[in-house]
C-alpha cells in the first residue's frame, strides 16, 4: 500500500464518521421536534379542556351572575383566540379563575349545588394539569433550542426548514381555594 492510499482511506473513514455523527444529530433534532409537536398537542388539549369545563361551569347556574359572566367571557375568549393571542387569552382565563374562586366559600357554594361537586372536581383537575403540560412543552422546546444553537447544527443546516421552537408563556397559577380543597 502506498502512502497516498493510506491517507485516502483515513480521510474516507473520517468523512464516514463525521457523516454518521451529523446524521445522528439530525435524527436527534427530528425526534425533539416530534416531541415538541406531541407536547404542544397535549398542552392544547389541556387548555381546551380547562376552557370547556370553565365554560360549562359558568353556564350551569351554580355561580352568581357576575362570576358566571366573567368566567364565561374569559373561557370563550381562550377557546376562540388566534394563535398569536393565545397566551394572553389563556392567562386572562387563569386570572378569571383565580378571581372567581379566590374565596374558599365560593368553592363550597359551588360544591353544595346539584352537580357542583363533580364540576368543581373536574375544573380542579383541568386546572392542575395545565401547568404540567406547559412544563413538558417548554422543556422539549428548551432541549431543541439548545441543540439548534450548536455550530454544527447551524453550519450544516441540520434543522432543515423546521421553525425555531418557541416556548408557551402564560400565567397558569391555579386558584388556591379550588386546588387546595381537592388535593
- What's the pLDDT tens digit per position in 161-174? 999 999 999 999 99
**Per-residue confidence (pLDDT) for residue 181, from 0 to 100:** 53
> How much is the pTM?
0.90
Q: Which residues of 31-70 are buried (b: 16+ CB within 10 A; e: fewer)?
A: ebbebbeebbebbeebbebbbbbbbebbeeebbeeebbeb
Given a cut of 90, whether residue 1 has pLDDT beyond it is: no
pLDDT band at 14; cut points 50, 70, 90? very high
**pLDDT interval class at 116 (50, 70, 90):** confident
The pLDDT mean for the chain works out to: 93
User: What nine digits make up the cell of 136?
Assistant: 413538558
3-state secondary structure of 167: coil
CA distance 137 to 39: 5
Q: Is a pLDDT exceeding 60 seen at residue 182? A: no
What pLDDT does residue 62 have? 87
Contact criterion met (CB below 8 Å) for 124 and 181: yes
**What's the length of the chain?**
183
For residues 164 and 159, give the distance between their C-alpha atoms in angstroms, rounded to a whole number: 9
Chain-centroid distance of CA 116 in Å reads 28
- 179 is written with which cell numbers? 386546588
Amino acid at each position: 500500500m502506498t502512502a497516498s492510499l493510506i491517507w485516502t482511506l483515513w480521510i474516507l473513514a473520517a468523512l464516514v464518521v463525521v457523516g454518521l455523527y451529523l446524521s445522528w444529530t439530525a435524527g436527534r433534532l427530528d425526534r425533539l421536534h416530534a416531541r415538541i409537536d406531541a407536547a404542544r398537542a397535549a398542552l392544547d388539549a389541556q387548555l381546551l379542556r380547562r376552557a370547556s369545563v370553565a365554560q360549562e361551569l359558568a353556564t350551569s347556574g351554580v355561580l352568581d351572575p357576575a362570576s358566571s359572566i366573567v368566567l364565561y367571557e374569559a373561557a370563550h375568549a381562550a377557546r376562540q383566540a388566534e394563535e398569536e393571542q393565545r397566551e394572553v387569552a389563556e392567562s386572562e382565563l387563569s386570572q378569571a379563575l383565580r378571581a372567581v374562586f379566590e374565596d374558599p366559600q365560593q368553592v363550597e357554594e359551588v360544591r353544595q349545588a346539584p352537580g357542583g361537586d363533580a364540576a368543581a372536581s373536574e375544573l380542579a383537575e383541568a386546572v392542575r394539569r395545565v401547568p404540567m403540560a406547559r412544563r413538558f412543552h417548554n422543556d422539549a422546546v428548551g432541549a431543541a433550542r439548545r441543540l439548534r444553537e450548536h455550530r454544527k447544527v447551524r453550519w450544516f443546516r441540520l434543522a432543515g426548514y423546521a421553525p425555531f421552537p418557541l416556548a408557551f408563556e402564560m400565567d397558569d397559577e391555579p386558584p388556591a381555594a379550588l386546588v387546595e380543597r381537592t388535593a
